[in-house]
A = this chain, B = another copy of it.
Amino acid sequence: MASKAVQVETQRDKLERKEAAILHAARSVFVDNGFDGARMSEIAKTAGVGEGTIYSYYESKAELMLAVLQQFWDGLTLEARNVMAGVKAPEAIKRLDALATYHLEIVIRNADFINLSFALRRNNSEVSVSRDHLRQYVSVFDEIFRRGQDRGEFRPEFLLWHARDVFYGTLEYSARSIEVVADTKGNDRPQKPVIDNLIALFANHFGTSDQPSDMEKSSEQLNRIEAKLDQLLS
């Protein structure tokens, strides 16, 4: 009886291992060749299964691609949360530094795939990452930034989406530039300066600094004005 249970378990495991192998192979082949360029036969060979077998796990090439995409974004989110859990520092700026480092690395390594994701969103109605998966990923940033505002590290007047656009936008554009430059010469543009500059920008622009910023100066002035009006009224 025990042996049967074990065998059943093994059977289930086997299926899961096979499915994982297919997903893994698919990802690799899709990244190398794009959606249309990828051949089901190559995915099957890479996964070590028959071509027909894939179709007992996924209804079509498009559905397989979809599964790959979802797994990719889910993995990204999970990994990002793991990374953040490993950062003990409570300061938002330090946490953002860690997130930026992770994100830039990921974006550079998976540039092909990310491009593919967005290209598919447009051209292939069948295959498109759900908005939810993307949203979940960016929520990692959102939480840090909001907490930074709560902790008084970031100015409360800034809108979340603006900070998010600057953060992810800058990193992704940088990744592309690094990539393009890397194609031509040696790796001329290392990643560290990109992170440092971005973090400095966040500290300076979004941060509450001890040197009175224009806005702080203005509000001091407003305080004085209010005091003077009080004088006039009194």
Partner of A214 from B166, B213, B229 at Cβ < 8 Å: B213
Interchain nearest-CB distance for A212 vs B (Å): 10
Q: Which residues of the other chain, B, contact A221 by a CB distance below 8 angstroms?
A: 219, 222-223, 226
CB–CB B226/A229 < 8 A? no
Interface of chain A, main secondary structure: helix
The B-contacting residues of A in range 157-186, CB under 8 angstroms, are 159, 161-162, 164-166, 168-174, 176-177, 180, 183-184
Contacts known (A219-B217, A224-B226); A122 close to B115, Cβ less than 8 A: yes
Interchain nearest-CB distance for A38 vs B (Å): 9
Among A8-16, A29-37, A70-78, A144-152, the stretch that binds chain B is A29-37
Q: Which residues of the other chain, B, contact A55 by a CB distance below 8 angstroms?
A: none
CB–CB B228/A226 < 8 A? yes
